[in-house]
Amino acid sequence: MSSSSPKGVAVITGASAGIGAIYADRLAKRGYDLFLVARNEQRLKASAEHLHATTGVQVTPLAADLNDKVGLARIEKILREDSRITMLVNNAGIGSVASLLQADVDKMQAMIELNITALTRLTYAVAPAFVARGNGTIINISSVVGIAVENLNGVYSASKSYVLSFGHSLQKDLASKGVRIQTVLPGATAAEFWDVAGYAPQKTSDITMRAEDLVDAALNGLDAGELVTIPGLHEAEAWTRWEQDRREMSAKFLNPKPAPRYHIA
């Protein structure tokens, strides 16, 4: 099937529900053909049929478990080889609200494999193709707990800190080569994430954002050229200050001797 869209194909992971499904709707309406990736094949097919019927774009469901090496490798191959792909939305992820003493370590490992390993491998698969063509967009979904790390499960927060740091590195390596990188940090968002994480009431909290509003804000941030988009942060200058302070402090790390406070002769 050849793409009929001049914008090419957007690949969206975790596309069968929640934030991923809204990205699929919005990008279809923007004229992108779609590859939708998720485990739930029935949901994917229903979504693909609906989006094609309502927008006219070509939508291909790709049922795959990104925690399975075979499924992940299949999506990596598509990202490396299909020259129609112009955008990757790394949205697939799982979370938890359990503390260290309550959480199952095997589930934590599975979280790391999806939130970090799969996201990294998919990015590594598509980035060289984007560089070779001199254009492409990678959107990585992090979380505000990547900064406010004490707010949820520690492994989940750490995985989202990784996504934020990884995005900074990608921007450094790829921006000059025509590849756009955007890291999105949602706050609490009304999605099935909370059912899986073990705290369904969060979906209806008065601090919880609609998934539609989150995605619309993120795409507007992309249009505006933002490298990091935090839809729930109204004081944009707070992020600017925080990032400036981080970069200024980074320049002060390179000293050959320990600081005087450690009393090393």
Active site residues: 156
**Euclidean distance between CA atoms 128 and 80, whole angstroms:** 8
Does residue 10 sit in helix, strand or coil?
A: strand
- How would DSSP label each residue in 232-265? T-S-HHHHHHHHHHHHHHHTT---SS--GGG---
**Euclidean distance between CA atoms 123 and 138, whole angstroms:** 8
**Euclidean distance between CA atoms 144 and 167, whole angstroms:** 14
Does residue 153 sit in helix, strand or coil?
A: coil
**Euclidean distance between CA atoms 10 and 137, whole angstroms:** 9
Helical spans, DSSP H, in the chain? 18-29, 41-55, 69-81, 105-112, 119-133, 154-174, 193-197, 211-223, 236-250
- What is the residue whose two structure tokens read 């990032």? 243
Distance separating the N- and C-terminal Cα atoms of the chain: 70
How many other CB atoms sit within 10 Å of the CB of residue 186?
24
Does residue 87 sit in helix, strand or coil?
A: strand
Q: Phi/psi at 246 (nearest 5 deg)? A: -60, -45
